[in-house]
Each structure stands twice: as C-alpha cells, then as structure tokens.
Structure 1
Amino acid sequence: MTLAEIDDAQRRVRLGVRHLLATPTAASVEDVADTLVGLHATDPATVVLSACARMEHPSAAEVETAFYERRTLVRLLCMRRTMFAVTAATAPVVQAAAGDAIAAKERQRLVQYLAEGVGWDADRLAEVEKATLEALRLRGEATAVELTRDVPALLEQVVLGAGTPREIRQNVSSRVIRVLAAEGWMRRGRPLGTWLSSQFRWTPATPWPEIDPDEARAELVRRWLASYGPGTEADVKWWTGWTLGAVRKALTAVGAVRVRLSTGDGYVLPDDVEPIGEPEPWAALLPALDSTPMGWQARGWYLPDHQRSRLFDTTGNVGPTVWWNGSVVGGWAQRADGELVWELVEDVGTEAAAAIAREADRVAVRLAGVRVIPRFRTPLEKELAK
C-alpha cells in the first residue's frame, strides 16, 4: 500500500496552526495547556511565557488565577520524569498514563535512600508520611520549612558523597515531600515569591481518579497526535518516556495511520491525513523549555542541525527561541537591565526580520521590566545576555 506523504513544509504549517502560534487566539491558559497536552513547568517562568505567547489577551495574572484560585491548572511530575502543567480535567489521564509509573519509581528510590541514609524501614517512612500529611491538613497550606517544624523527623539528614570533596548533608524532607506529591497526596500551591519563584507552598490533595493505564496511554497518544502529529514512534517514545512496546500498543489502540515523512515513517490520527491550509506569515518568541520545540525527538524539520548546539544545552534543554513560519531562526535573551535582545541564525529576509522585531517589542511590553533568566542556560542565550 502506498503511504500518504506529509512533507516538512506541511508539518511546519500544522505546527503554527495547532500550537496557536500563527494566530494566538486562546481565550484562556487552560485552552493553551489542553491544546499542547501540557506546558513544561520545570522552570516556573516557562508556563507563564508559553501561555502568554498563545493567548489573545496574555496575562501572567491570568495564569496565576488558573493555578491558585480556579485550580483548573495543576503541576504534575509525569512524562520523562518532567514537571508539566496540565488542566485538572486532563490530570487523571496524564497521571495514569505516565505519572503513576514515575511515582512508583520515586518511591522505590526513596525507600532505598532512607534505608541506606538514616536506617528507616517502611513502617518508619509510613509513620513520617502520615504525620506530614496531618500537619499539612491542620495548617491548610504550608511550606516545606513549616512542615519540618511540625514533623522534626523530616530534618533527619543523609550524607551524600561521604569522604569526598563534594560531601553534602541533605534533609530527608525534600525527598519525602516529592514522593507524596508525585502520588497525589499534596500539590504545589502559591509560590513564596513572584511567578518566577520555584519555592512553593503545599496544599492537601487526594490522588486523581484511577483510569486503566492502557486506556490512559491511548488517550494521551491520541491527544499528542492531534496536536503534534505527524510524529514517529521514536518521537512518541521520547516525549512520553515509555517503552517502545507501550508506544506501539497505544498507537494501535487509537488506529494511528502510518504516513511517509522526510526522515522515514510517522503516524497521524485516522482523520488527519489530508493537508491543512497555510496561515498568514507569523513570528513568535518562545521561552526556554517551551512545549513546541520540546515536542519531538527529531527536530531537523523545524530546527537547523548546525545551530542545535547553540540553542540547546548539553542535556537537551532548549533555550529561548525565535520562530518564523514554523522554523526556529534564532534565539533571544534579556540583559541585566531587562532589555530584550535577539539574534537570527538564519537569513530570513527583511519582511521576516521586521515581523520578528515587532513580536519582540510585544514580548518586551508583556514582560513589563521583569527579567527572566532560564533555569537551564544555553550558549546563545548566555552570549546575548551579556
């Protein structure tokens, strides 16, 4: 059977339209998160800037309202053991498809860590966890420091790298809280500082409703294909962090259709083989770790291979990127005084350069003097920020 072909140009068209970049018309941050399946949240600034890049009326306050007042947006440790912000409606699917397996591995590591470090057995861990959750319930919300005041056992320390120049002592509190959060017993509330802060208050929670893992994985792949398709098996495997067997089972469950890409075979949903119309020319400035550049393992169709080392760090984290019509054409940063600067790594012509400059002005206004320094800094971002 002859496979339908989806070329790189059509993939870039789909990226612009489906990732809300060609026309940033999302009515809410929840719409953005659901459209992209989830927003990367390892760096708190990413969630705000990624959402604002796609919203009709961008606002950091609107993102905070979704997190802390409406509680329609939540942070989960899930795909690839990475923090994502997903909607509360999507959270049960993501938790069952990826979060539960991560939480189980985190608990295994915690048990070993505590047994070797402070001699706790399972009963002792259960006792401390129960006390921690009760303290959180009584307070309503609490910082990690406040919880250690209520549960002194959380201050017991493990020595890491004993006898080496890098020897450190680490309270067990961060590991215990991390596992309780991964399992859904507590969630991150408001940060201690601004929306740039990565130190959060914690609030009590109950685990998400259980969903059959196979059904959840199929649903997650369906959503991924709807936004990121076409993609290869390797793309899905990388993005989810699953085994190849689990990926193939999920693709089969949703009836994914094989298509020909420039680099081999990929998959789309059954009703998504036909090309979609090209939008008006568009430019975008996306933050570090944005879900779009981090959406696929193979990136040659939207990012020049020879520029990858300047735009990504050594562990695969993307920095702030400049886009033109579905391709990464540069990077951007902020200097110490907050000035937004960018560099184009591709010759895009005067029309595109002017459009990018206008978009940069809009981002600068949106930042309103706030300086964002990515948690994972890349060569080009560091060069520009000097």
Structure 2
Amino acid sequence: MTLSDNDIRAVRTRAQRLDPPADDVPSVARSVAAIQAQSSPAARLAIRVRSRGLTAQDIDASREVARTWLMRKTLHLVPAADLRWLNRLFGPRNVKAGQGRRGQLGLTDELCERALQHLQDLLSGKALTRQEILDGLAAGGIALDAKSQAPAHLLAYAANRGLLCRGLDAGAEPTYVLLDEWLTEDDTPAEPRTELARRYLTAYGIATAEDFGAWSGLPLGLCREAFGALDLVPAGSGFALSETDLSAPPCPPRLLGAFDTYLLGYRDRDLLLDPAEAKRVNSGGGMIAPTVLVDGRIAGTWHTKRTAKQTKVVVEPFTTLSRSAITGLESEVDDYGRFLGEAAVLVI
C-alpha cells in the first residue's frame, strides 16, 4: 500500500499510544511491548505521555508491571504477566553474551552459582536495595566492590537466570525481589518469538524485520522467521499486521522523555528525525535526549530548570514552531506538572 511519510508517522504514533492515550499503567506497557527502564524517571515519562490522569506515584506503586533485563541486555518494564516468557526468551542469550565481562570482573561461574544460592535466602519474603544485598552477600563470604560494575552484572545475571527482578523503588533506590514472589501470572505463548514479533508490530505500526532486530537484539534470521509466521501486508517501505488500520489522524504535540520507545524501535530513524539534527538527540554513548514531537516528527529537545516556586520546561526547537504546536505543548507542560505534582511553565 502506498503511504506518504505523514501517513506512516501517524500510524506509528497511534500504535505507540501517543494518541489516543491509555487509562492505566499495564495498558501502556502492553501497547508498546516494552519500555526501556534503565532510568526510572524516563520510564515514568514514557508512561505519562501515553496515558490519561496517571501520576508518577501510580506508576511507582503498580505491581502489574515488572522490570528486568531483556531486549539488548537492557532493563525494560513489561506487563508482569509477560515477564516469565520474555525472561526465558532473552535470559539465556543475555547470560551467554555477558560471560566475558563477568570474567573480567572476577565473577566466575562458581562464584555466580554460590551467589544465586545466597540471593535466594537473602531475598526470601523481602525487597532489598543493592547495598543491602551486597551486605548480605559479604556476610555469606561473597565480597564485591560496591564501586565496581561487579554488583550490577551479578544482579543482571541473577535476573537473566530467572531468580529475581526489580521490585518497587525505595525512594530513589531500586529494590530487588524474588521473581517467583513478585509474579502471580504467566501468560506464556505457544511461539514466543512469533508473539514478540506480533507485539512489536502492534506497538510500532509499520516496520521491517531489520527494525525488529535492532529493537530486540535477536539475530536477524530469527526476526525474519518470526515476521514470516505472521499475516502481514506491505506498507510504505515496511510491513504491518493485516489487521492494522493504515489510516490515522496526525498526532498532537507531545513531550517525550529520554530514551523514549518511539525512537528506539527502528533501525532507521530518518523518517522521525532529520539526520542533520540527530546529534542533538543522540550525542553518543546510547544517550537519547528528551524530545519534542510535532506531527509525529522530532521537532526539538527539552529539559527542565527547577526553582523553589516552579519548574520551567525549556523547549529548544530545531525550527520555529507554529502557534498550534506551541498551544499543544502548553497543554503538555500542564499535564507534565500535574503528573509530577509541580507547577510547570513552558519556556521556548
């Protein structure tokens, strides 16, 4: 089907629940397949921009979602009912991929296995911070340098082995819990890779197997097989699920947080972001800045300046914004302030 660039962007923003919004935290997580959650504030903003009426506290308190290391060996937030099968799909790959780095950090296979046994006992019935876990391991004869990367890699290893996942944050500190104690559901599909491809296309609207590979980190051959098992239709330069409605209205202006899933889901971002402005969004090291979305295209970046009285949301557009875009962003800033419980104003 022949689609204009604007058509494709409209389909993609609707698939991403950037318009219309969802009503609760698990609905957002299901809609976008997975939310990158290396940064808790960024993950909260990814849900804010795709929902209606939620607050940051609503997200932090939800037990219907869970966080663990999945796609691209990166921490993601997903519906709790999906965590087990996603862990089975990505966990063994992540364990194998991280073996070399664990060895460099002194995390031998023997030490990791001893640590898993201690973690099982330490976390039983509890949610512990990283430091509390390190203290407990040290008491059991497993001492790790808290200033090194060893603790993070050990926790990721334990998560990829299916022992633990992230729990509720304790203030600014993440906690860790036993996976079997956190999860009550397990909606394992018959064909996990095919199901993941279906959810990916549901979330990203129009894409290719190469896009799916870039997003998931799975080998391209497996991604092509998964696409081949679905009922797809050509759309633009990619494919969509046959049930996808390929007509959609333009998306209102939106404030996307850092590492937003809208930018992480495609190998080629040129349709969404002018290559000439790419370094203003991704300055290197995998960092994706908070961005301004206008008509489905990245139109600038933003940051905040906080004072005792108010929060200024400072937008740095790539080009002059229209009056309607500014009006839409003013509404977004009002919602951003409501979401965080702060008085917020737009500054351009």
- TM-score, normalized by the shorter chain, greater than 0.5: yes
Structure 2 residue matching 1:303: 3-state secondary structure: coil
Residue identity in the other structure for 2:302: W
RMSD over equivalenced CA pairs, Å: 2.8
Corresponding position of 1:269: 241
Corresponding position of 2:169: 191
Corresponding position of 1:354: 327
Corresponding position of 1:232: 208
Deviation at 1:128, TM superposition (A): 3.2
Corresponding position of 1:34: 30
Is 1:96–1:211's contact at 8 Å kept on the other side of the alignment? no
Aligned match for 2:3, one of 1, 6, 11: 6
Inter-partner Cα distance in structure 2 for 1:16 and 1:236: 17
Residue identity in the other structure for 1:178: A
Q: Is residue 82 from structure 1 mapped to residue 80 from structure 2 by the alignment?
A: no
TM-score by length of 1: 0.79
Inter-partner Cα distance in structure 2 for 1:282 and 1:188: 34
Structure 1 residue matching 2:60: 3-state secondary structure: helix
Q: Is residue 205 from structure 1 mapped to residue 179 from structure 2 by the alignment?
A: yes
Deviation at 1:289, TM superposition (A): 0.7
Deviation at 1:109, TM superposition (A): 4.2
Deviation at 1:92, TM superposition (A): 3.0
Residue identity in the other structure for 1:278: P
Structure 2 residue matching 1:203: 3-state secondary structure: strand
Corresponding position of 2:316: 343
Is 1:302–1:326's contact at 8 Å kept on the other side of the alignment? yes
Deviation at 1:227, TM superposition (A): 2.0
Is 2:291–2:301's contact at 8 Å kept on the other side of the alignment? yes
TM-score by length of 2: 0.87
Shift of the 290–260 alpha-carbon distance from structure 1 to 2, 3 Å rule, reads closer
Shift of the 182–8 alpha-carbon distance from structure 1 to 2, 3 Å rule, reads same
Corresponding position of 2:20: 23
Which segment drifts farther, 33-42 or 85-94? 85-94
Aligned match for 2:43, one of 39, 47, 51: 47
Is 1:156–1:171's contact at 8 Å kept on the other side of the alignment? no
Over 4 Å off, 4+ runs:
207-212
Inter-partner Cα distance in structure 2 for 1:233 and 1:19: 18
Is 2:12–2:206's contact at 8 Å kept on the other side of the alignment? no
Corresponding position of 1:315: 285
Decide which structure has the larger Cα Rg and report it. Answer: 1
Is 1:20–1:54's contact at 8 Å kept on the other side of the alignment? yes
Inter-partner Cα distance in structure 1 for 2:85 and 2:110: 31
Q: State the percentage of identical aligned residues.
A: 22
Inter-partner Cα distance in structure 2 for 1:370 and 1:142: 33
Inter-partner Cα distance in structure 1 for 2:51 and 2:135: 42
Deviation at 1:86, TM superposition (A): 0.1
Deviation at 1:31, TM superposition (A): 0.3
Matches within 5 A, 1:233-382: 233-261=209-237, 266-272=238-244, 275-279=246-250, 282-337=252-307, 338-369=311-342
Inter-partner Cα distance in structure 2 for 1:302 and 1:101: 30
Deviation at 1:321, TM superposition (A): 0.9
Gapped regions of structure 2 (runs ≥ 5): none
Structure 2 residue matching 1:90: 3-state secondary structure: helix
Matches within 5 A, 1:146-161: 146-152=132-138, 153-157=141-145
Is 2:300–2:316's contact at 8 Å kept on the other side of the alignment? yes
Deviation at 1:149, TM superposition (A): 3.0
Is 1:340–1:364's contact at 8 Å kept on the other side of the alignment? no
Inter-partner Cα distance in structure 1 for 2:203 and 2:137: 44
Corresponding position of 1:145: 131
Aligned length: 338
Deviation at 1:246, TM superposition (A): 0.9
Shift of the 358–132 alpha-carbon distance from structure 1 to 2, 3 Å rule, reads closer
Deviation at 1:157, TM superposition (A): 4.9
